[in-house]
Structure 1
């Protein structure tokens, strides 16, 4: 303990509060966006047309990925696939390279989710295959990061594109989906404070490791995987400390307060968006 009676972990309480507030905003935004997509997909015949359009877009984006290494995450890479499609397909991609990055994020998350689900089913059938949660999480993060290796030279461009204000919400939704899947299949079924703390910590670890990876020149990114292992070990120690101390209750109360105000804010913003869409 320090002279003021606070532990070394309490010094950064303001940073913890800020991180919690932002993370709750991100999660509420993701939930709202997902609900909006589900509602849209259930709307009569117009949704059938939208589905056909999405299918065409996905086929074009999938075919454009091989051109990323040469042309980057750009509309130019997408345009390489337009041959054989009607000229109107050019108008489907309003965001250009951002839609290509978004597509890649989504399919990688889906592929990882399928792998983790299969592993989870294998463990359920044969408990001897069960790994420690930290090992399971480390392996899952490494597997997901390995999916960007074919595009590693162009990945800084992808990160820059998704950091632009219009692209931040889908980027955060993708990150939240990723960490939620990893935590769930690692065995986390908690419904208390730890549900949030684990996902927030893992999101930070994933992004830190991703940034480390794009600068890593070691063979098979060995330095990156060691960096990842150290970060997960550090997070595990911090989580154990919070669980064993009285601070976990206080942080949880402050998190709930943040969630309350954040939810009110996003409800207002969502209503504004609905009004804009209705009047347009």
Structure 2
């Protein structure tokens, strides 16, 4: 186990009391015997980097669980629901609550958005999504909204087995599916079809990120340009 993993394990017992903070990081150093200077090199922004590392660990655990599960008998919307539920079940509610409080601060909002977008992206990729056009973005944006609202509901859910959360998740996904159906009917409209063949063709140039050179999440034109 790496020192980063040791610190991440050790800090979790302190986060409910001290949050994802410098205080919690120092306590983890005392517990593990890892020098504070080394810990700061591993997590330069202290609690923020620890919270992000915890989130990424949860994402990895979710991916492992999804790959191990047999989802062939499930409808695709049920696979999405299973993935979101799995992601929540591998997490500790109080640690997530503390993380959301941290990422809600203006100076850390970008990190929170990056974590959320990353989770949505991993779910789509693990479930086999191969879109490389504007749908790459809309799918992740939609799922990010579903996931974030479900997390907020889950944090306040005291129902046995979190059954209220899973029911809420199903309703949110059903709402998205209905929207997709409406969107499909709109696209079949003659006027909309004419627009998409004219000015709307600009959307054809939007591509999913390949290996970005600029660091921005996508590019204009062909992939890799």
Check conservation: 1:60, 1:82, Cα contact below 8 A: yes
Match of 1:85 among 10, 29, 34: 34
Aligned length: 201
Q: What's the RMSD between the two structures over aligned residues?
A: 3.2
Partner of 1:109: 59
DSSP-derived class of the 1:82 partner: helix
Measured against aligned partners, the alpha-carbon deviations of 1:136-192 in whole angstroms (never above 9, x if no partner) come to 0001101111233x3x24533311211234423332222222112212233332334
Partner of 1:18: none
Q: 1:75 to 1:253 in 2, by over 3 A?
A: farther
Displacement over 4 Å in runs of 4+: 247-250, 257-260, 266-269
Q: 1:256 to 1:90 in 2, by over 3 A?
A: same
Q: Does 1:138 align with 2:138?
A: no
Which runs of no fewer than 5 residues in structure 2 stay unpaired? 208-212, 217-225
Q: Does 1:234 align with 2:184?
A: no
Partner of 1:158: 99
More divergent stretch after superposition (153-162 vs 203-212): 153-162
Partner of 2:20: 73
Alignment of 1:1-280 (within 5 A): 55-83=2-30, 84-89=33-38, 91-92=40-41, 93-119=43-69, 122=70, 129-148=72-91, 150=92, 152-246=93-187, 253=200, 256=203, 267=214
Please give the alpha-carbon distance, in whole angstroms, between the structure 2 residues aligned to 1:103 and 1:226: 29
Q: Which has the higher contact order (CA 8 A, sep 6+)?
A: 1
DSSP-derived class of the 1:140 partner: helix
Please give the alpha-carbon distance, in whole angstroms, between the structure 2 residues aligned to 1:199 and 1:85: 38
Which runs of no fewer than 5 residues in structure 1 stay unpaired? 1-54, 124-128, 261-265, 270-280
Please give the alpha-carbon distance, in whole angstroms, between the structure 2 residues aligned to 1:233 and 1:201: 12
TM-score, structure 1 normalization: 0.61
